[in-house]
Structure 1
Amino acid sequence: MLALSARGILPKVDYAIFADTGWEPRAVYQHLDRLERDIATPAGIPILRVCAGNIRNDALDPDHRFASMPLYILNQDGRPGMTRRQCTGEYKIKPIKKAVRELLGYPHPARIPRDIFVEQWVGISTDEFHRAKDSDVKYMRNRHPLIDMNWSRADCVKYLESLGLADTPKSSCLGCPFHGNAQWRHIRDTSPEEWTDVVTFDAAIRQGNARANATGNRLLGQAFLHRSRVPLDQAPIDHVTAAEWAALQPQLGQEQVDVAELEQGVSDGCSPWACRGGVEPVQDDFGLAS
């Protein structure tokens, strides 16, 4: 959408906003720098980088309140589960709303007049039109230009290729549990430093986040980044078939396994307004996700 706006195919936007969780892959930050240098700045479109902290560091800090990641849980009785997903609301939606309020001149906790609002473009394509929703606050009105243009994910990829951006990386936390095996392999095989980072993090959160442990709320079970619920450096990430998956994890026989999702990850990704988690962010009285 930024490129379409910069080139006049869509109207020129006033701002583009990137919500930084503090733990994106190195390639994402490099790509963002390139977009800003080669596309946004020449078109006069400022990119605002907003951040509510570093999700990795916060999870390992016993003194910091941590918004839960959707970790895979193996309970003491062997049953599988997942923790609540709060990270999108805390690290993406909340800082975006904070920035929008400031752009409008009504920072929290000021009340925003009913006739003051922004038109917010959300990059949802026709493949995921079911995730196109109205905003949950009156000062932000959602619009979905890609759907208006009848563009699919394939159309977006084709356009990026035409701009020399075929190598656009997928934006998500380096250690996001929604990664598919292909993404885990890519990290392992192309970036040893980042692979060591996620393996170390996976081991560190085995008993839950540090704040919960420090306050005596130890996880009754074990937490993992990979859906196999084994340590990441031992997880079956090399093209596991459905039959192999069933043989490797007989205790998880009741869990539905989508082999395509297992390999490629969750197709809808983890954008601020279309996270696969399925849990709507909690909203406080001022329209900030909490």
Structure 2
Amino acid sequence: MLALSAQGILPKADYAIFADTGWEPRVVYSHLDRLVREIADPAGIPVLRVTSGNIRDDALDPGHRFASMPLYVLNEDGKQGMTRRQCTGEYKIKPIKKKVRELLGYPYPQRIPKSVFVEQWVGISTDEFHRAKDADVRYMRNRHPLIDLNWSRADCIRYLTSIGLADTPKSSCLGCPFHGNAQWRTIRDTSPQEWQDVVAFDAAIRQGNARANASGNPLLGQAFLHRSRVPLDRAPIDHVTAAEWAARQQELGDHAPEVQELEDGVVDGCSPWACRGAEPAQDGFGLTA
């Protein structure tokens, strides 16, 4: 959408906002710098970087209130579950809303008049039109330009390729539990330092929220980053079934979604208003507050 705006295909955006969790892969930060340098700056579109902190550091800090990730949990009796996903709201949506209020001239807790609002573009394509929703506050009105253009994910990829951005990486936390095996392998095989980082983090969150543990309220089992509920450095990330391989060859895939996600993970990465991970069931699991 930034490139479409810069090229005049979409109206010129007043601002672009990147919500930084503090734990994106290095390639994402490098790509963002390139977008600013080659696309946003020449078009006169300011790119604002906002943050609520470093999600990795916060998770391991017993003195910090942590918004939980959707970790895979193995209970003591063998039952499986997932912890609540609060990270998108805390580290993506919250800092964006804060910045939008500032841009409108009404920082919290000032009341924003009904007539004052921003038009916010959300990058959902026609493949996932069901994720297109209205904003939950009056001062933000969502628009979905890719759907208006009738663009699919494949159309977006073709466009990015045509302007030299075929290597656009997925934006998501380095240790996001919604990674598929292909994403975990990419980290391991191309960035040893980042791989050691996520392996160490996986081991550190085994008993859950550091603050909850410190206060005597531990997790009701063990937590893991990989859906196999095995330590990440021993998880079966190299196993690719015939069905998974076939699904990987197709941009959208004809196999069951859970088969494709096992290999490819969440297709488009993390978006503030359209996190692709399904809402996890609680089943009595969860990090204590």
Distance in 2 between residues matched to 1:172 and 1:278, nearest whole Å: 15
Question: What's the counterpart of residue 192 of structure 2?
Answer: 192
CA distance in 2, matches of 1:265, 1:279: 15
Question: Does the alignment pair 1:136 with 2:136?
Answer: yes
Aligned to 1:235: 235
CA separation of 1:109 and 1:189: change in aligned 2, threshold 3 A = same
Segments of 5+ residues of structure 1 without an aligned counterpart are 245-255, 281-290
Alpha carbons 1:128, 1:268 under 8 Å: kept: no
**Match of 2:262?**
262
Equivalent-residue separation in structure 2 for 1:9 and 1:226 (angstroms): 40
CA deviations 1:65-102 (Å, max 9, x no partner) are 00000000000110110000000000000000000000
How far, CA to CA, are the matches of 2:272 and 2:209 in structure 1?
A: 22
Q: Which residue in 1 is equivalent to 2:57?
A: 57
Q: What is the rounded CA distance, in whole Å, between the counterparts of 1:239 and 1:118 in structure 2?
A: 46
CA contact (8 A) 2:170 2:268 kept: no
Structure 2 counterpart SS, 1:141: strand
Change (3 A) 1:279 1:181: closer
CA–CA distance in 2 between the matches of 1:28 and 1:17? 14
Distance 1:13 1:115 in 2: 20
Secondary structure of 1:160 counterpart: helix
Secondary structure in 2 matching 1:258: helix
Question: Does the C-alpha gap of structure 1 residues 137 and 261 become closer, same or farther in structure 2, counting only changes over 3 Å?
Answer: same
- The one-letter amino acid of 1:160's match is L
Worse-superposed segment, 212-221 or 92-101: 212-221
What is the CA–CA distance in structure 1 between the aligned matches of 2:143 and 2:129, rounded to whole Å? Answer: 12
Distance 1:243 1:141, change over 3 A: closer
Deviations 1:16-63 (A, max 9, x none): 000000000000000000000000000000000000000000000010
1:151-188 alpha-carbon deviations (Å, 9 max, x no partner)? 00011111111111111000000000000000000000
Distance 1:171 1:243 in 2: 26
Percent sequence identity over aligned pairs:
83
Give the match for residue 168 of structure 1. Answer: 168
Match of 2:113 in 1: 113
Unaligned runs of 5+ in 2: 245-255, 281-289
Q: CA deviation at 1:242?
A: 8.4
8 Å Cα contact 2:266/2:277 also seen in 1: no
Match of 2:97 in 1: 97
Q: How many aligned positions are there? A: 269
Task: Give distance in 1, aligned partners of 2:239 and 2:114.
Answer: 52
In the aligned structure 2, how far is the partner of 1:279 from the partner of 1:262?
16
Q: Kindly indicate whether the alpha-carbon contact (under 8 Å) linking 1:241 and 1:259 is maintained by their aligned counterparts in 2.
A: no
Which residue in the other structure is 2:284 paired with?
none
Aligned-pair RMSD on alpha carbons? 1.7
Question: Normalising by the residue count of structure 2, what TM-score does the alignment of the two structures yield?
Answer: 0.90
Secondary structure of the residue aligned to 2:22 is coil
The residue number in structure 2 matching 1:153 is 153
Quick one: which amino acid aligns to residue 223 of structure 1? Answer: A
Query: Is this contact kept in 2: 1:85–1:277, CA < 8 A?
Result: no
State the partner residue of 2:32: 32
Offset, 1:140? 0.2
Are 2:10 and 1:7 aligned? no
Q: What does 1:72-87 align with in structure 2 at a 5 Å threshold?
A: 72-87=72-87
Q: Are the equivalent residues in 2 in contact too, given 1:19–1:49 (CA < 8 A)?
A: yes
Distance, in Å, in 2 between the alignment partners of 1:186 and 1:243 is 20
SS of the residue aligned with 1:66? coil
Aligned with 1:119: secondary structure?
strand
> d(CA) in 1 for partners of 2:260 and 2:58?
32
- Tell me what 1:67 maps to: 67
CA distance in 1: counterparts of 2:88 and 2:98, whole angstroms:
14
Residue of structure 2 equivalent to 1:41: 41
